[in-house]
Structure 1
Amino acid sequence: MAAGKRVVVVGAGVAGITTAVVLAETGVSVHVIAKEVPGVTSLAAGAMWGPYLVEPKNKVDQWGQRSLEIFRRLAEDPATGVRLASGIEASRTAEAPPDWATPLPGFRPCGPAELPAGFSAGYRFTMPLIDMPTYLDYLLRRLDAAGGTVERRRLASLADAGPATVLVNCTGLSAKALLPDPGLRPTRGQHVVVTNPGLTEFFSKDTGLSSDLLCFYPHGDTVVLGGTAIDGEGGLASDDTAAAAAASILARCAEVEPRLAAARVLEHRLGVRPTRATVRVEADRREDDAVVVHNYGHGGAGVTLSWGCAEEVRGLLPDK
Structure 2
Amino acid sequence: MEHGPGDEVIVVGGGVVGLTTAVLLAEGGRRVRVWAREPAERSTSAVAGALWWPYRIEPEPLVGAWALESLAVYVELAGRAEETGVRMVEGLHAHMRLDGLGPWATRVPGLREDADGLRARLPLIDMSTHLPWLRERLLKAGGTVEKRVVTDLAAVPAPVVVNCTGIGARWLVPDPAVRPVRGQLVVVENPGITTWLTSVDHSSGVSTYFFPQPGGLVLGGTAEEDAWSPVPDPAVAEAIVARCAAVRPEIAGARVLAHRVGLRPARNAVRLERRPLPGGRVLVHNYGHGGAGVTVAWGCAREAAGRACPAA
| Interval containing the TM-score (normalised by the shorter chain) | over 0.9
Match of 2:11 in 1: 9
Distance change in 2, residues 1:36/1:209 (3 Å)? farther
Match of 2:268 in 1: 277
**Counterpart contact for 2:184–2:222, Cα < 8 Å:** yes
Distance change in 2, residues 1:307/1:94 (3 Å)? closer
Distance change in 2, residues 1:97/1:57 (3 Å)? closer
TM-score, normalising length from structure 2?
Answer: 0.92
**Counterpart contact for 1:104–1:126, Cα < 8 Å:** no
Amino acid in structure 2 at the alignment position of 1:128? P
SS in 2 for 1:155: coil
Deviation at 1:106, TM superposition (A): 3.2
Aligned counterpart in structure 2 of residue 259 of structure 1, from 250, 258, 272 = 250
**Counterpart contact for 2:50–2:294, Cα < 8 Å:** yes
Match of 1:31 in 2: 33
Question: Superposition RMSD on alpha carbons, in Å?
Answer: 1.9
Match of 1:20 in 2: 22
Match of 1:43 in 2: 46
Amino acid in structure 1 at the alignment position of 2:22? A
Give distance in 2, aligned partners of 1:82 and 1:252. 27
TM-score, normalising length from structure 1?
Answer: 0.90
Give distance in 1, aligned partners of 2:254 and 2:308. 48
Give distance in 2, aligned partners of 1:96 and 1:53. 18
Aligned counterpart in structure 2 of residue 222 of structure 1, from 216, 225, 231 = 216
Give distance in 1, aligned partners of 2:137 and 2:98. 41
**Counterpart contact for 2:182–2:227, Cα < 8 Å:** yes
SS in 1 for 2:303: helix
More helix by share: 2
Deviation at 1:220, TM superposition (A): 3.1
Stretches of structure 1 lacking an aligned partner (at least 5 in a row): 112-120
1:63 paired with 2:66, answer yes
**1:1-320 map, 5 Å:** 3-4=3-4, 5-38=7-40, 39-78=42-81, 79-91=83-95, 96=99, 98-99=101-102, 100-111=104-115, 121-161=116-156, 163-238=157-232, 242-318=233-309
Distance change in 2, residues 1:32/1:184 (3 Å)? same
Q: Give the number of equivalent residue pairs.
A: 305
Deviation at 1:190, TM superposition (A): 1.3
Give distance in 2, aligned partners of 1:10 and 1:156. 11
Deviation at 1:165, TM superposition (A): 1.3
**Counterpart contact for 1:49–1:68, Cα < 8 Å:** yes
1:34-84: CA deviations, max 9, x gaps? 111105210000011111122122211111110000000000002111010
SS in 2 for 1:271: strand
| Range that drifts further, 10-19 or 213-222 | 213-222
SS in 1 for 2:201: coil
- The alignment-based identity, stated in percent, is 48
